[in-house]
Amino acid sequence: MDREERALATTVTVKGQITIPKRIRDAKGFKPGSKVVFDINEAGETVIRPAGRPTPPGPIHLDRVIGSAQIKWQGTTDEYMELIRGYSDDPR
């Protein structure tokens, strides 16, 4: 079954309302009273998801920076934290 065969059509009412088809409600776990969010992804497609769930982030391209840091710290973690914070929690 290709994507077009899986697609379900619905009609927008004069009030701008739609009925989410049962197969989609079941797949997404929408129950009566569920809050949903409609969004448009980078491809211009409409995405529906449960409200409160964050939008998945886009791809992260870290390949260029992995291993590129030139850190040569020889001290302890506590010493480094004191250096970058400018104070010490240790009352020595």
Q: Could you read off the pLDDT of 14-29 as tens digits, one per residue?
A: 999 999 999 989 988 8
Q: How far is CA 79 from CA 32, 69, 92, in A?
A: 55, 19, 13
**Where do the domains of the chain lie, and which CATH numbers do they carry?**
3-50 (2.10.260.10)
What's residue 74's pLDDT?
Answer: 87
What's residue 11's pLDDT?
Answer: 92
More confident residue, 5 or 1: 5
pTM over 0.85: no
Residue 2 has pLDDT above 80, yes or no: no
CA distance 68 to 91: 36
Q: Which residue has the tokens 């927008």?
A: 12
